[in-house]
């Protein structure tokens, strides 16, 4: 069992790699979407192995059902709904499923959320 300091270090590196993989996925998407999907898969693996959650601002960038990289207007549809709990509904056009992302409590988190 790694000590607390090591755990913090592992977490920091894992988050950094996840962030970079999503960035790379975004960059190659228009040339090679399959490669972007692969990057998402790698990011998920890192998050599972290091037991780190994928940051909230990245959670809407991939489908939670088929794990494909999503780009609004290309392979997903994003709409904001105010009824019930205010939420963003992201429909994956690869598998047709809809994810709901809650908007409550968003103000307290980083600027990258917007």
Binding site residues, Zn ion, CB under 5 A: 63, 65-66, 92, 94-95
d(C-alpha 51, C-alpha 38), whole Å: 19
Cβ distance to Zn ion smaller for residue 91 or 103? 91
Cβ of residue 108: shortest distance to Zn ion, in angstroms?
A: 29
Among residues 21, 37, 113, 106, which one has the least CA distance to residue 71? 37
Phi, psi at residue 11, to the nearest 5°? Answer: -60, -45
Cβ of residue 24: shortest distance to Zn ion, in angstroms?
A: 20
Cβ of residue 71: shortest distance to Zn ion, in angstroms?
A: 13
Tell me which H or E stretch contains 15: helix 4-28
Cβ distance to Zn ion smaller for residue 96 or 110? 96
Cβ distance to Zn ion smaller for residue 14 or 99? 99
Inter-residue contact 27 to 9 (CB < 8 Å): no
């Amino acid at each position: 069992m790694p000590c607390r300091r090591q755990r913090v270090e592992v977490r920091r590196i894992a988050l950094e790699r996840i962030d970079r993989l999503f960035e790379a996925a975004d960059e190659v998407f228009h040339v090679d979407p399959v490669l972007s999907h692969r990057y998402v898969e790698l990011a998920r693996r890192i998050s599972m192995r290091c037991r780190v959650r994928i940051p909230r601002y990245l959670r809407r960038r991939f489908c939670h059902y088929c794990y494909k990289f999503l780009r609004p207007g290309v392979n997903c549809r994003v709409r904001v709904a105010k009824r019930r709990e205010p939420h963003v509904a992201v429909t994956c056009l690869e598998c047709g499923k809809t994810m709901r992302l809650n908007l409550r409590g968003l103000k307290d988190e980083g600027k990258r959320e917007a």
